[in-house]
Structure 1
Amino acid sequence: MLEEEYQPRRRLPRELRPVTGEKPPLEVPFEYSIRDAVETDLPYIREIYNHYVANTVVTFDEDAMTLKEWRHKFAWTRKQNYPFLVAVSPTGTLLGFAYVSAWKQKAAYRRTVENSIYLGPAATGKGLGRALLAELIDRSKAAGIKEILAVIADRGAEASIRLHESFGFKEVGRLGRVGFKFGHWLGTVLLQKSLK
């Protein structure tokens, strides 16, 4: 036997001992940067979005979007000079995205947009949605947009409603039973923010 085995074990003082006997988890800071989206981000954007299509009612899409559809949406958004942002980790992992799109296709609506924000499942609850929405509002104002709308499912998206309200979005209407997904009727809540 080794000499160390004969020595009595030293114990930590009671106040320094872990309660459960396990080491406490290390706090890892949640870091990210926000930048303009580029075309090479689209496969990751599609992956995040299609997670919500398959698992939630926050989007009324029932079929996964293709890369071709995302390329078309991205090109049209850039042509309109609308902001399309991504949040990335220090290692380059895409954590979430946000963009605005035309509220309606008629020319008179050109200064009114609808926003969309989607986060990867591991990035939720960490303040990233708040950061993306703040940047999206600033960039929309700089692009000459006057009104931003949020169309949010009336079930399963309560956090999104609270987030938008914290930025001054006001509820301006509701539509009941306009979507049917996963065997349930769903409505929408319409919120609006004026940019001055």
Structure 2
Amino acid sequence: MVDSPIVKSTGVADLPAIAGIYEGYVRTSTATFELEPPGLAEWARRFTAITDAGLPFLVAEVDGRVAGYAYCSPWKTRPAYRRTAENSIYLAPWSTGRGVGGALLDALLSRCQENGIREVIAVIADPERNPASPALHRRRGFADVGVLRNVGYKHDRWLDTLLLQKSLI
């Protein structure tokens, strides 16, 4: 039996596991439009930028291993957008279907609300091939707000993104 995930703030020591999880998505999936996996220095830069902006960056652990991570980044850089964030969630392949994504998203939304975020946007790449992410977000009250057609090109095909939004007020 698998223990329930423990969700906590990310520390620098978690970055190698995060980089390893994300590398699999970059190389083999269309869940991200990134084409080359970022190295540890880039993850350290991203971690610092996110936490310095007062936004949450979380990991979920199961049986002492990093099972997934989630964070929010600024939706746009212009100051009027400062209360809107975009969320990202990635799970280790062995942890899918075990409630890790839901635990991460619940904690992420709670931290966003505590930090004064009003709106959270999910940008889901290639939703037809990645149906778990839209389903997870819809179960947490995200509403579909649009589809951007053919905005990314990866693995020799054009890809859509699905936009979902949740108000925290």
TM-score range, shorter chain: over 0.9
Number of residue pairs the alignment of both structures matches? 168
Counterpart Cα distance in 2 of 1:32 and 1:170: 26
The residue that corresponds to 1:136 in the other structure is 108
Matched, 1:33 2:6: yes
- Residue 104 of structure 1 is matched in structure 2 by 76
Which stretches in structure 2 are left out of the alignment for 5+ residues? none
Structure 2 SS opposite 1:96 = strand
Q: What TM-score results when the alignment is normalised by the length of structure 1?
A: 0.83
Q: Identity rate of aligned residues, in percent?
A: 45
What is the CA-CA distance between 1:38 and the residue it aligns to?
A: 0.4
SS in 2 for 1:76: helix
C-alpha separation in 2, matches of 1:56 and 1:30 = 27
* Cα distance in 1 for residues equivalent to 2:130 and 2:35: 17
Q: Is the 8 A contact 2:2 2:62 kept in 1?
A: no
Q: Which residue of 1 aligns with 2:23?
A: 50
Larger radius of gyration: 1
RMSD of the TM alignment (CA)?
Answer: 0.9
Q: Give the counterpart of 2:66 among 94, 98, 101.
A: 94
Give 1:41's aligned amino acid. Answer: D
Q: Kindly indicate which of the two structures has a greater share of residues assigned to strand.
A: 2
In the TM superposition, residue 61 of structure 1 has moved relative to its aligned partner by: 0.5
Q: 1:129 Cα shift? A: 0.4
**SS where residue 58 of structure 2 aligns?**
strand
In the alignment, what sits opposite 1:176? Answer: 149
TM-score (norm 2): 0.96
CA–CA distance in 2 between the matches of 1:140 and 1:32? 20
Query: Which of structures 1 and 2 has the larger relative contact order (alpha carbons within 8 angstroms, sep 6+)?
Result: 2
List gaps (5 residues or longer) in structure 1.
Answer: 1-27
Residue of structure 2 in register with 1:6 after alignment: none
- Residue 32 (structure 1) shift: 2.5
